[in-house]
A and B are shown apart, each in its own frame.
Chain A
Amino acid sequence: MSQSPRIKFILGGLLILGAVIYLIASSTQANAQYFMTVDELQAKGASIVGKNVRISGAVLGDSIQYNPQSLTLQFTVAHVSGDNAEIEKNGGLAEVLHQAVVDTNRAHLQVVYNGPKPDLMRNEAQAIMTGKMGEDGIFYADELLLKCPTRYEQAVPEQSQQGN
């Protein structure tokens, strides 16, 4: 059977290509996370309940409640823009976070997170949360990252403040 060997290599190559595309497509589908701001999340309403969402907001210092026994952390975040250019235009991240916390008209979101309170959990920190929206309008975070822009100018990999 000395048919052109080319054919079988092309077929084999296509097979691998197909497998890779399938792996990528199905994994993307299963693990997609939507980046949203607090405004966008609340605009979606019930349609977003149960989906993987990654959201960022400014932490309101007064709202932080932490129970070290049950390791339950509750806090409220205020809407901040997700657009970098806009943040820069308004005086940088530190300033934007400060404005968000001070402005009482901003959309607020209540967050519950199970785990130890991260070191950087404080007023005017930027919280980047991954989790799902509950039907009760509370955001249940599985993962919580915090940034304090006034402190860190340097590059810090994101896991530095990660909790699971």
Chain B
Amino acid sequence: MFADFGFGVLVITFLLSLYGISAALIGHFKKKQAWVESARLSMLLTFPLLTLGALTLIYLLVTNDFTVKFVYDVISFDMPLYLKITALWGGQSGSLLFWSWLMAAFATAVTLRKWDRDREFLPWVVIVSCVTIAFFLGLNIFFENPFAHFWVSVSGEIFPATFQPANARLVTLDEIGNGTGLNPLLRHPGMIIHPPMLYLGFVAFVIPFAFALAALVTGRTDDRWIRLTRRWTLIAWLFLSLGLVLGGRWAYDVLGWGGYWGWDPVEIAAFMPWLTGTAFLHSVMIQEKRGMLKHWNMILIILTYALVIFGTFLTRSGVLSSVHAFAQSAIGPSFFIFIGVTFVISVALLIYRWAELKSEGQMQSMFSREALFLLNNLLFMGILVVCFWGVISPLISELLTNQKVTVGPPYYERAAGPLFGALLLLMGIAPLSAWGHTTLKNLAAQSNLQLEKRYALAIARLLWKPAVPALLVLIGLFASGIRDIYALIGLTLAALTTSITAYEFWRAARARSRAQQENFFVALWRLAGRNRRRYGGYTIHLGVVLMALGIIGIEMFQTQTQKSMAVGENIQISGYTLRYDSLAQFPSEDGRQVTRAVLSVFDKNGALLGELHPRYDVYPSGEPMTIPGVRSTLADDLYVVLVNWEGVSEQTTPFKIYHNPLVNWLWLGAFVFIFGTLIAAWPDEERETIPAQARSTQAAFQPGD
């Protein structure tokens, strides 16, 4: 029985991770290296074992074994093979197994690194990772078993259970028939890669957290743990960012409401660890460079871990399901206890080591690089608090007043908008502060101004040149008739940040090309290669600015209209004219009943720009799906939805039309963003080879000794 085999694998992996925890504890406290090594090996095995478990479930999915409840819930005969495989994360219990599997991949990878210089961290990294894996496997084993069968009782009732109940027999395939099939909304490329990306981001953040706790327990509280996990953190952050963007793209393509982000608690649940993770990425640099913000970094990584689990909890437990369509489950309390216990232990450790994490320096000026980084952190925390309050306010108000009060998207936009704007400005100034430091020295000689004023002056000196294009942009926007104050501020800030960043690239590359007698572009390339982290970071910032452009465009300038049209009728929106040409109904290859409208798009002068094909598909199971027709350019998107085919009279068809300016920059910016992260995270050959060289020279000496 494959399903029983799969369940067995889960149980064995669960016991193995418990063993790993015990062995690591013994190894640490008895100072026995052999036990630690045994713990390492047991963690090494988690990934191969869970791969076996996941493959078993995939096998059951691919072979349509509907006697297994999970398979019955997420697939049907008519689904294509790739969807049957990706249905692994299409339901509650499967997605939990998937989570553990990815977690195990990172855990196993971390056991394979060179540990010689960081032996003391090893047992604690094993413990944190194994505790996390064991918790998620425990959920699978005790509450949500993806390998549970259907059974038939004596009275003929069909019900799911893990083990054979008394007087029941296994259901036969004939009795079950066809499975329910995956929700059509989830049958989309964006939905296929969005959950894995998000989960990868979630689980990868466990690794830096594990090292942070190891540092706290062992008392090796210098920045070693941060240097070790820098790349892990970047990768985790990249995956999490990708997951969020892909989720937005999926919503835009599939949900047919003209937007990409609805401030749904479930979305926010994934956004919150991203906020703390981003703050963490920035503030660790200050610890590395200046030895400051040590407590703060610990707090951030502890929060990130808690929010990762909390995010999984919100989406998986059904705590908010009174209004949100998410699966009900018994796993809620377990999550709650797990988050509470891990959080309390982490904070207790932090307090225990508080004195040892003393700052090595003190901040001098409000305009210094350190202070700007701290400000950036505070803004991220501010957005986090806004989000957290928004998510929990219904629960709190119900507790206090017995009246459930919630807040919608306007709350988030109004409260978080100014903070995002401030971050955008800060992103622009950030590169200047690096220069500010050196310019300060020059300035210091010739002036006896106060420190603050000198810093401010230094930044102002560097700011004015890049500020000119931004000012021109502002004038241009104003001249073109835009009067919305928030839009003007946002777009000007975007222009300012872009021009400062470009100026920074240009200035540094020109200096290098003069000094080294290199071609400008060669200089630019080598410059970025030498200081990947800085220039990768600036590239990420450029990506974010482009994304901000798209967000400002759709949030502030979106227009929409709706109309029931007869064939041949026109509708106007934002200078475009759409003509409704025809409507056709036909079955598709995979059994969907497709209703497809054809609309011609004309510009202001009446020139034909193209056709749009909004669709309304009904799956064999009766579930409908609305697929918008989109004409996408760099300037704007025309987004047409064929609404509600069912209740339409014969003569007219209702359409909903959105005009989304600039939204494409959101997706383009994401590519720049990924590129920048890859630059920053690319392995540094020089640094990695130093230990290797040291070892080889050692080896070379030995025979001669």
A residues sitting closer than 8 Å to B (CB atoms) are: 1-2, 5-6, 8-9, 12-13, 16-17, 19-20, 23-24, 26-28, 30-36, 54, 56, 66, 68-69, 71, 82-84, 88, 115-119, 121, 128, 130, 147, 151-160, 162-164
Tell me the B151-198 residues at the A interface (CB within 8 Å): 180, 182-183, 185-186
How far is the CB of B373 from the nearest CB of chain A, in Å? 13
Which of A30, A118, A119, A158 contacts B324, CB < 8 Å? A158
* Pairwise interchain contact A54-B385, C-beta atoms closer than 8 A: no
Docked complex Cα distance between A93 and B556 (Å): 38
Q: Is the CB of B186 within 8 A of A157?
A: no
Q: Contact: B404 with A130, CB < 8 Å?
A: no
Task: Enumerate chain A residues within 8 angstroms of B408, measured Cβ to Cβ.
Answer: 31, 33, 130
Contact yes or no, A33 B262, CB < 8 A? no
A159 touches B414 (CB 8 A): no
User: Given A24-B415, A31-B410, A34-B404, A68–B654 Cβ distance below 8 Å?
Assistant: yes
Chain A residue nearest to B259 (CB atoms) is A159
Please report which residues of chain B, range 370-396, place their CB below 8 angstroms from some CB of chain A when the two chains form the complex: 371, 374-375, 378-379, 382, 385-386, 389, 393-394
Binary per-residue interface labels of chain B (301-328) against chain A in the complex, 1 for a CB within 8 Å, 0 otherwise: 0000000000000010010011111111
Could you jot down 9 A-B contacts, CB within 8 Å? A9-B366, A20-B386, A23-B419, A54-B323, A116-B644, A117-B643, A117-B644, A157-B255, A162-B262
B255 to A160, Cβ gap below 8 A?
Answer: yes
Give chain B residues whose Cβ lies under 8 Å from the Cβ of A33. Answer: 405-408
Q: Of the candidates B183, B379, B389, B407, which one forms a contact with A156 in the assembled complex, judged by CB atoms under 8 Å apart?
A: B183
Interface hub of A26, A27, A88 (most chain B Cβ within 10 A): A27
Query: By the criterion CB–CB under 8 Å, are B644 and A151 in contact?
Result: no
- Interface stretch, picked from B227-235, B537-545, B619-627, is B619-627
Interface assignment of B468: CB less than 8 Å from any CB of chain A: no
Kindly report which residue of chain B lies nearest to residue A147, judged by CB atoms: B325
The smallest beta-carbon distance between A121 and chain B, in angstroms, is 8
Complex CA gap A130/B262 in Å reads: 15
| Cβ-defined contact, B364 with A35, below 8 A | no
Q: Which of A6, A115, A151 contacts B562 (CB 8 A)?
A: A115
User: Are B564 and A154 interface neighbours, CB within 8 A?
Assistant: no
* Interface magnitude class on chain B: 35 or more
Pair B73/A24 contact, Cβ less than 8 Å: no
- What's the Cα separation between A13 and B180 when bound, in Å? 54
Select from chain B the residue with minimum beta-carbon distance to A151: B623
Q: Contact: A32 with B414, CB < 8 Å?
A: no
Inter-subunit contact A30/B414 (CB<8 Å): yes
**Which of A88, A119, A158 is in CB contact (< 8 Å) with B262?**
A158
Chain A residues, Cβ within 8 Å of B262: 157-159, 162
* Complex contact A24–B389 (CB within 8 A): yes
Q: Is the CB of B407 within 8 A of A20?
A: no
Bound complex: CA A154 to CA B76 (Å): 14
B264 interface hit (Cβ, 8 Å): yes
11 additional contacts, CB 8 Å, given A17-B378, A34-B404? A5-B363, A9-B374, A16-B375, A27-B411, A35-B403, A54-B323, A83-B322, A84-B328, A158-B325, A159-B255, A162-B257
B477 CB–A CB distance under 8 Å? no
User: Are B562 and A71 in touch, CB under 8 angstroms?
Assistant: yes
Closest to A88 in B: B328
Tell me whether A35 and B323 are in contact in the complex, defined as CB-CB below 8 angstroms, given that A9-B366, A27-B411 are known contacts: yes
Decide yes or no: A116 and B315 within 8 Å by CB, A20-B385, A128-B323, A157-B264 being known contacts: no
B266, B362, B416: the one within 8 Å of A157 (CB): B266
A interface, over-half SS = mixed
Q: Are B450 and A20 in contact (CB under 8 A)?
A: no
**In whole angstroms, how far apart are the Cα atoms of A66 and B648 in the complex?**
9
Q: Is the Cβ of B407 less than 8 Å from the Cβ of A66?
A: no
Which positions 610-648 of chain B face chain A at CB distance < 8 Å? 622-624, 626, 643-644, 646-648
Contact at B450–A28, with CB atoms within 8 Å? no
A69 close to B652 (CB less than 8 A)? yes
| Residue in B183, B405, B411 with the greatest tally of chain A CB atoms within 10 Å | B411
* Minimum C-beta distance from A62 to chain B (A): 15
Q: Which residues of B contact A159 (CB under 8 A)?
A: 251, 255, 257, 259, 262, 264
| Bound CA span A104–B493, Å | 59
- B325 / chain A contacts, CB cutoff of 8 Å: 147, 152, 155-158
- Please judge, given known A-B contacts A69-B564, A160-B185, whether A155 and B644 are in contact too, CB under 8 Å: no
Question: Taking CB as reference atom, which chain A residue is nearest B325?
Answer: A156
Tell which of A34, A35, A151 has the most Cβ of chain B within 10 Å: A35
Alpha-carbon separation in the docked complex, A29 to B251 (Å): 29
B415 touches A27 (CB 8 A): yes
The answer to whether B315 touches A23 (Cβ under 8 A) is no
Q: Are A31 and B411 in contact (CB under 8 A)?
A: yes
* Residues A35 and B185 in contact, CB atoms below 8 Å apart: no
Partner among A5, A13, A119 whose Cβ is within 8 Å of the Cβ of B626: A119
Question: Which of the residues B180, B366, B649 comes within 8 Å of A68, measured between beta carbons?
Answer: B649
Once A20-B419, A128-B323 are accepted as A-B contacts, the answer to whether A35 and B389 lie under 8 Å apart by CB is no
B342 CB, nearest partner CB in chain A, Å: 25
Tell me the bound Cα distance from A10 to B433 in angstroms: 21
Q: Is B219 an interface residue (CB 8 A)?
A: no
Near A by CB (< 8 A), chain B positions 385-444 give 385-386, 389, 393-394, 403-408, 410-412, 414-416, 418-419
How far in angstroms is the closest Cβ of chain A from B129? 27
Residues of A within 8 A of B386 (CB): 20, 23-24, 27
Name the one of B264, B321, B389, B560 contacting A84, with C-beta atoms under 8 angstroms. B321
Q: Is the CB of B90 within 8 A of A154?
A: yes
Residues of A contacting B415 in the complex (Cβ-Cβ under 8 angstroms): 23-24, 26-28
- A36–B185 CA distance with the chains assembled, in angstroms: 29
State in angstroms the CA–CA spacing of A117 and B266 once bound together: 26
A residues within 8 A CB of B560?
164
Q: How far is the CA of A154 from the CA of B406 in the complex (A)?
A: 24
Q: Is the CB of A153 within 8 A of B394?
A: no
Q: Given contacts A33-B408, A154-B91, A157-B251, is CB(A68)–CB(B564) below 8 Å?
A: yes
CA distance A13 to B407 in the complex (A): 27
B353 interface contact, C-beta 8 A: no
Cβ-defined contact, B407 with A27, below 8 A: yes
Q: Tell me if B405 and A153 are in contact (CB < 8 A).
A: no
Judge whether A116 and B382 touch: CB under 8 Å.
Answer: no
B656 interface hit (Cβ, 8 Å): yes
A69-B564, A116-B656, A160-B185 known; A31-B378 Cβ under 8 A: no
Q: Which residues of B contact A12 (CB under 8 A)?
A: 366, 375
Query: Which residues of chain B are near A17, meaning CB under 8 Å?
Result: 378
Q: In the complex the two chains form, is B255's CB within 8 Å of A155's CB? A: no
Contacts A119-B626, A155-B326 hold; do A31 and B414 have CB atoms under 8 A apart? yes
